[in-house]
Amino acid sequence: MNIVVIDDDKLVALSLKTILESSGSVTVAAMGHSGREAIELYRSNTPDVMLMDIRMDGMTGLEAGEEILRDFPDARILYLTTFSDDEYIVKALNMGAKGYILKQDFDGIVPALEAVMRGQSVFGEKIITKLPELMVPKGQYDFNAHGISDKEREIMELVAKGLSNKEIAGQLFLGEGTIRNYISSLLDKLELRDRTQLAVYYYTEVRG
């Protein structure tokens, strides 16, 4: 897995490179220290995942992420930061980031990268507990108006909880291929791009 690491603290970036590459499954293709560098390095390296800090001088990681995702909609951006500010979390989710984890979750960085590569959305434990209270209730959601079946509704909720296709299949006693088809149908019906947006949609539009 090739990644690019962006952190305005050069020592932190170097430490991350050492730690990640010692896992044997990660290669750090490049390191940058600003939002502007993040954009340039993504364009020149097209990494499997970009691991990026948020608070940086000049252009923030969130601003850089927005620009990268405009040009590369399939980009996998995983935010790694010391800040669990509610505003940052919501903005990262809404823009389509693949995850948001805290630097304190040190042992979880490599597993988080691997999960993102498998198509999952990743949020640190402290972030997950914040999601329900961050999202504004929208009242009773009309699933029928969107053509969403009871089974699709159930799968949407499990996706929002962070379960993988395999885990959902096991819980519902269905095949993984069937789960993928259900999720694809949901994305089409709701005009969403990926699982992350589906999870955000659930918390912002469905959950009351």
Question: Domain boundary residue among 92, 115, 134?
Answer: 134
Contact 195, 119 (CB under 8 A): yes
Domain match, 94 and 25 both? yes
Domain match, 77 and 15 both? yes
CATH of the domain at 39: 3.40.50.2300
Report the C-alpha gap between 100 and 134 in whole angstroms: 14
Report the C-alpha gap between 127 and 132 in whole angstroms: 10
Give the number of domains in the chain. Answer: 2
Residue 57 lies in a domain: yes
Q: What is the pLDDT of residue 89?
A: 74
CATH of the domain at 155: 1.10.10.10
How many residues appear in the chain? 208
Domain match, 122 and 24 both? yes
Domain match, 121 and 197 both? no
Residue 139 lies in a domain: no
Question: Domain boundary residue among 134, 157, 189?
Answer: 134
Domain match, 58 and 151 both? no
**CA-based nearest residue to 159, from 126, 133, 134, 196:** 196
Does the reported pTM lie above 0.95?
no
Q: Edge-to-edge strand order for the sheet containing 49-52? A: 27-32, 2-6, 49-52, 77-81, 99-102, 122-123
Phi, psi of 145 (to 5 degrees): -65, -25
Domain match, 8 and 94 both? yes
Q: What does the pLDDT profile of the chain (208 residues) look like in tens digits?
A: 999 999 999 998 898 898 888 888 899 999 999 999 999 999 999 999 999 998 888 898 999 999 999 999 889 999 887 766 666 777 777 788 888 887 776 677 888 888 888 877 777 655 655 565 555 444 567 788 888 988 998 999 899 888 899 999 999 999 999 999 999 999 999 888 888 888 888 877 776 5
Structural domain that includes position 174: 144-206
Domain match, 24 and 80 both? yes
Q: What is the pLDDT of residue 138?
A: 47
Domain match, 68 and 151 both? no
